[in-house]
Structure 1
Amino acid sequence: MATNRIDLTPKTIPNRFKPKSQKLGKQRWLLTLLIVVSLISGGLGAGLALVMSSRPLQQSKLSAEQEALNANSMTAATAGLPTLTRPVNILVLGTILLTSDLPDAAQRPKTKYLEQVDGNLNGMSDAMLMMRFDPTTKKLTVLSIPRDSRVHIQGVGETKINAANYLGGASLSAQTVSQMLGDVPIDRYIRVNVDGFGKLIDALGGVDIYVPKRMKYQDDSQHLYINLKPGQQHLDGAKAVQYMRYRYDDLGDIGRVQRQQTFFRSFVEQKLNVETIAKLPDVLSVLKENIDTNLSVEEILALAAFVSKTNRKDARMLMVPGRFSNPGEYNLSYWIVDYKHLSRLMVDHFNVTAKSQDLDEDSHSPKYIRVAIQDSIKKPDGVKSATNVLSKAGYGQVFPADTPWAKPLTKTQIVAQQGDRTTAEQVRQALGMGEIVVESTGSIESDVTVRLGRDWLTAQPTVTLSNAQPSTFFKMLIKPQIS
């Protein structure tokens, strides 16, 4: 059983969506001072220890059982600065509250029905991430949880998982997520609202990212205006919010989850470094009215230090596997979780013990592996040649991806869509080239997505005993194209 179970049984939606006290606002300078002192001179005795162990950004009241989790130490002082001492799982919730969520919504004028309440943390969770920081493997793992996932919420029944925060805050969200993921322990939580996310990006100087297509959407009723042009560009806080909230394409919320992963990878690679640690006082000062977390100052510093030292390009970006519900299957549109594949994923990346029936001995057999071929170079012949190479190597379920990859790639990528790096490595060897990326931005119907780069048309893979037949066939296929 997970250690973070909370006995919450809400019978009705609680009427608690009022602005919180701004008591922290009266002491804005204090948080900055404490962190600066902590950075400069860690280990100055009991007084400083009290400062470092404090939780000045916690705004919600938790149960006694949940509060007890904070006694489980996760840091130690190394050379005067805090470091992680064990793997840590942190639930991150990006929340948004519209007036349509409020208990008196029915009495509100329709013209204001969907007005956003920017400063509130108690709405639906628009984004849900389970993050694992593992000092043993030196790996950062991020699991995206689609907000429309159909789960059981205690005291409510079967519904969308994003309702857990609305009905019971961080405690109920942690309980629900833990159950869905096989009773994985959750050590800490972070909640941030949409307004706070934009301010965070601005405080860090924005993020460079490739916008894959024209994103334009307008909804006057909820004051949502999205207007982004395609191509490589620098996003400030407001534009980053637009990029993260856009969901008006064929994949709906799953497409948004994939864009969130792309954004998060760019954010980690560009912004989570040693220089950023020095900005933490300013960042937290900006966020403190838009964030709620039971992380202490010491723990925040330890997490930042861990990420700054990891190989961030190897960050693993996963998504809860599943499928869209069929029309008429339920009264609402859901993401139906594939618990068998989810169990395998949790075993591989979160150290969760799986039930024996959830482990598939044939999962690495080429004839069972679903491989999508995605073009980034606008060369249809490349997709055909890659399909032929894999078919010749024994892969029986190879198909073209529904949409091409918008950003032209120099190097071919082997995307471990379901988080299985071993399977991705098998595909890479069959192709004789490619770099493995563990993320869920490929075809949702695949186990592995091969994202073709320019090198696919020009490289000459070395023939080895393990992949001689595919590589030789590959040379034969591409020879006319490069002659």
Structure 2
Amino acid sequence: MSNEELGKTPKKFKRRIRWGRLLLFIIISIALVAGSFFLGRMAFRILFAPKVPVVAATEDIGTDEILNKRINVLLLGIDDGDSEDFGTDAPKRTDAMMVVSFDTEHNEVSILSIPRDTRVSIPGHRAPDKINAAYAYGGINLAKQTVANLLQIPIHYYILANWQGFIQVMDILGGVDLYVDHNMNYEDPYANLKIHLQQGFQHLDGEKAGEYVRFRHDELGDIGRVQRQQKFFKALASEFFSVGNVVKIPSIAGALAKNVETDMDTLTMIRAANSFKLFGGERVQSEMIYGDFKTIDGLSYWVTSPKQVTKSLDELKIPHRKIEKI
């Protein structure tokens, strides 16, 4: 695949969305948050576009039958600000990234979180960069290629979600009760971001929940944020499935209609839902890719190695090619 092709974002077109598909995808999306960090950016829009090809690692990884027995989905979260601008061509770095791998044969799901500051090689770019730059440089295809090369697995589908839908969903659900471990105070006027949370038990509405899962200005940085997001979304999943919230699904679907795009078809969603067993989740494993904080040329990175990436994938039982470089 050429660099020019990698840089193209597939042309999208809309179809009428059926409520059955919305319901199924909402359930999958909410269920996946248990044990993951990504779906803090969770929102909802199904755009049936011309198929984005399965992206394999540089070494024709897609030829191995065992690797393609699983469904690997790249989940990307971006902060678009105004949902009206979602999906435009303006360069944006992803704010969150994870790979969800569905084993449809054994009904198991593995979730690998990739910190946004992970230092990687991006195809077509000479110097290593943070992995969250891949989408800004070349759209969804380059993001998929970069992740496929890092993990040495095929990426079959993607889900791209905007931040705004998450806030709306939280308000519809009525928020969640959660213990905040320490005071969180941070302001960024350029990003229109204000975070002010006090230590202790809190009831988090949409805005406050957004502050909680976005905060990363403590000693653990992005890694601490990943841990808080895991904690929060387990509580969110529990709240979603509580008595009384099922009737809110139409409102949730409407609120999220402008905030997610995907190339997953209905049959694949059904297979994925079956793997997850929806209301169980006992066979869901989640990990964050192993690595270490390092400062290189004045920039902070999450630096991983072939050995650490291999360990991350092996612990989740995700088949992969031999990883020789990052």
Report how far residue 303 of structure 1 moved: 3.7
Aligned-partner SS, 1:334: strand
Asked if the contact 1:343–1:354 (Cα under 8 Å) also holds between the matched residues in 2, the reply is no
Structure 2 residue aligned with 1:339: 306
Say yes or no: does 1:8 pair with 2:3.
Answer: yes
Say yes or no: does 1:90 pair with 2:77.
Answer: no
For structure 2, the residue ranges without an aligned partner over 5 or more in a row are: 26-44, 56-61, 63-68
Name the structure, 1 or 2, with higher relative contact order (CA <8 Å, separation 6+).
2
Structure 1 residue aligned with 2:171: 202
Alpha-carbon spacing, 1:155–1:357, altered in 2? closer, same or farther (3 Å):
closer
Structure 2 residue aligned with 1:234: 203
* Cα distance between partner residues in 2 of 1:130 and 1:92: 6
Report how far residue 95 of structure 1 moved: 0.5
Q: Deviations over 1:11-35 (max 9, x none)?
A: 9x99x9xxx99x85xx8xx424454
> TM-score, normalised on structure 2?
0.73
Say yes or no: does 1:142 pair with 2:111.
Answer: yes
* Within-5 A mapping of 1:254-269: 254-269=223-238
* Counterpart code for 2:307: K
* Cα distance between partner residues in 1 of 2:23 and 2:283: 33
Report how far residue 313 of structure 1 moved: 5.9
Structure 2 residue aligned with 1:185: 154
* Cα distance between partner residues in 2 of 1:356 and 1:168: 24
Report how far residue 293 of structure 1 moved: 0.6
One of 205, 212, 218 as aligned partner of 1:249: 218
Report how far residue 273 of structure 1 moved: 8.2
Report how far residue 127 of structure 1 moved: 0.6
* Cα distance between partner residues in 2 of 1:131 and 1:58: 20
* Counterpart code for 2:99: M
One of 263, 276, 289 as aligned partner of 1:307: 276
Q: Deviations over 1:71-108 (max 9, x none)?
A: x9xxxxxxxxxxxxx642211111024xxxxxxxxxxx
> TM-score, normalised on structure 1?
0.52
* Counterpart code for 2:191: Q
One of 130, 151, 166 as aligned partner of 1:160: 130
Asked if the contact 2:306–2:323 (Cα under 8 Å) also holds between the matched residues in 1, the reply is no
* Cα distance between partner residues in 2 of 1:226 and 1:332: 24
Structure 2 residue aligned with 1:352: 319
Structure 2 residue aligned with 1:120: 86
Report how far residue 349 of structure 1 moved: 1.5
* Counterpart code for 1:88: I
* Counterpart code for 1:169: G
Aligned-partner SS, 1:125: coil
For structure 1, the residue ranges without an aligned partner over 5 or more in a row are: 1-5, 40-55, 73-85, 98-115, 359-483
Report how far residue 207 of structure 1 moved: 3.3
Aligned residues: 290
Alpha-carbon spacing, 1:37–1:131, altered in 2? closer, same or farther (3 Å):
closer
Asked if the contact 1:274–1:308 (Cα under 8 Å) also holds between the matched residues in 2, the reply is no
Report how far residue 240 of structure 1 moved: 1.8
Q: Deviations over 1:246-304 (max 9, x none)?
A: 01101111111221222233334443689877765543332221111112244445544
* Counterpart code for 1:234: H
Say yes or no: does 1:57 pair with 2:46.
Answer: yes
Asked if the contact 1:244–1:259 (Cα under 8 Å) also holds between the matched residues in 2, the reply is yes
Aligned-partner SS, 2:95: strand
Structure of higher CA gyration radius: 1
Asked if the contact 2:106–2:275 (Cα under 8 Å) also holds between the matched residues in 1, the reply is no
